[in-house]
Structure formats: structure tokens, C-alpha cells
Amino acid sequence: MANIQDFSGYNPTWCPGCGDWGIGIAIKQALIQLGLDPSSVGAVFGIGCSGNMNDFLNAYAIHSLHGRAIPNAIGFKIANHKMPVIVIAGDGDTYGEGGNHLMHACRGNHDITVIVHDNGVYGLTTGQSAPTAQKGFKSKSTPTGIIETPINPLALTITSGATFVAQSFAGDAIHTISMIKAGIEHKGFSVVNILQPCVTFNKVNTYQYYLQRVYKLDENYQKNDFKIAVQKSLEINDEKFPLGIIYQNKKATYSDQLPQLKDSTLVDKKRFTDIDQISKLFI
């Protein structure tokens, strides 16, 4: 069985106190607890402080382009649908530049798990406002405050067709581990939105801010009721943040519906095309 060292790459360069530390540990622990090792999981990273985890986590990895982690992960999954595939990206990457990819991945019910570091800012590029930042939030890119309404990650993904939508808080690693595990175990498109304090550039959504506003869903919560889930996701408008599986349902995945993948994975078919031959057709 793999241990934390097996999954550990270079030492993280995140700011002291950043929520990414808790998420990094939670991801490694979740993979270990699921009995995975670095060669049995595919990880696709976005570009950002969150995406820098590409250097800190050992796995079959792609450090993709900003906003393009999800389509890379979909390709990965179609090539080898037996392998668990996770995406690790920021809120800017997932809900901003990659928002269109997110929406269509939800409706395809691709069997991948998207782990979002939701810190309300573009951390790596030094603190411009990201789509989940609140109206009025002041940053380098919005010195007089944001005019637009923020994205609602839970409502957006539930109504776009995701079959698993959960939320956790980077300050609660145990809960975050359980949400990541449940997301990976879910067969279908899963999103775990992790509320992540950026201690350097977001002075509004701090640990203190979240500790006063997060709460765990109780065991009677009906997670497979679509209308209840949408209602729950709207609580963000009152600055309330439910933690847990907000929505989960069963539906055939994208790969399940491809007859070509019934008997074996694409990589096992070993019918690779020589890309040089194809490129010659266009020269």
C-alpha cells in the first residue's frame, strides 16, 4: 500500500497558512485511503497556485493550460476509462477561463473528479478577482469593487448535469478527505468545491470568515433530490456555506455509452495510429 512519501514530490512553495496546504494533504490521504498508488491515478492540473501541486504530488500527471484541465482529463479518461482521473484547479481556472468546458463536462457525465480550490482570487497572478469573489470585492483588477454577480459553483454544476456535487472547507482536512474520496468513488462527473482561504490576497474570505459561516449537512439531508439540492446551493446568497454532498445521483457515464469501450480500454486495444503518417497528409 502506498504511503504519503510515495505521493510526495517537491516541497510545496505555497505561502505559510494558505488553504492549499490542507487540500494537498487531503488529496494525498484520500488517494492512499482508496488504496491507490501514484501509477494508478491520473491527475490533471490547472494553472495557478493550486495547479502548482503538479510539482508536489506524484501521479500520472498533466500540467495543462489555464482553463483547459477538464478537456485534458476527459481525453485521459476516454483513453483509459479504467483509471481514476482527477482534476486539481483553481476557481479562476474552473469557473472563469474554463467555465465553458466545465458546463459541457457536467452534461456529458464524464467519470472524472474535479477538485476546485475556491479562493475568490487569481492567486498565482497576485490577487486579481476571480468569478466566485463577492460583489463589491476590491482587488488589483477591481479597485472600486466588483460589479458582477458571483458564480454559484454548486448551482451551476448541479443544473448543468453533474451527478455528484460536494463542498468542503480547506480548514477541515478530515471532512475534505471524505468528500474527495466520495467524489472519486462516484461513477460519473463529480465536483468538490473546496472553500480555500488565500491568506495573501483575499482579506475577506478568511479562515475566521468561513468558520463563522460553514456548517455540515445532517444525516437526514436528501442528497438525491434535485430541487432540494438547488435550494441548498442558493444559501450562498445569505453567506451560508453547507458542507457535505449537496447532490448525488446515478446516470450512465459518457464512457459507458461508447460501444467501442465495452470490451477493453482504448490503450489496451494497442491500435495506435502513427501521428507522423497523419501529419504527412496535411503537408
Ligand X SMILES: Cc1ncc(C[n+]2csc(CCOP(=O)(O)OP(=O)(O)O)c2C)c(N)n1
- For residue 42, give the 3-state DSSP assignment: strand
Residues 74-103 that bind Mg ion (CB under 5 A): 90-92
Of 73 and 261, which CB lies nearer to ligand X in the complex structure? Answer: 73
Buried b / exposed e over 242-281, threshold 16 CB at 10 Å, is: bbbbbbbbeeebbbeeeeebeeeebeeeeeeeeeeeeeee
Residue range at the interface with ligand X (CB under 6 A); choices 27-35, 120-128, 171-179, 180-188: 120-128
Q: Are strands 121-122 and 113-118 parallel, antiparallel or unpaired?
A: unpaired
2 binds ligand SF4 per the rule CB under 6 A: no
- Find out whether 10 and 56 touch, Cβ atoms under 8 Å: yes
Number of residues that bind ligand SF4 (CB under 6 A): 11
125 contact choice in ligand SF4, ligand X, Mg ion, none (CB below 5 to 8 Å, kind-dependent) = ligand X
What's the min distance (Å) between Cβ of 223 and Mg ion? 27
48 binds ligand X per the rule CB under 6 A: yes
Q: Report how far residue 193's alpha carbon sits from residue 199's, in angstroms, rounded to the nearest whole number.
A: 18
- For residue 63, give the 3-state DSSP assignment: strand
One residue of 52, 64, 72, 119 binding Mg ion per CB under 5 A: 119
Q: Are strands 85-90 and 42-45 parallel, antiparallel or unpaired?
A: parallel
Number of residues that bind ligand X (CB under 6 A): 21
Element (H, E) at 11: none
200 binds ligand SF4 per the rule CB under 6 A: yes
In the complex, the residues that contact ligand X under the rule CB under 6 A are 46-50, 65-67, 90-93, 97, 117, 119, 121-125, 130
Binding stretches for ligand SF4 (CB under 6 A): 14-15, 18, 20, 49, 119, 123, 198-201
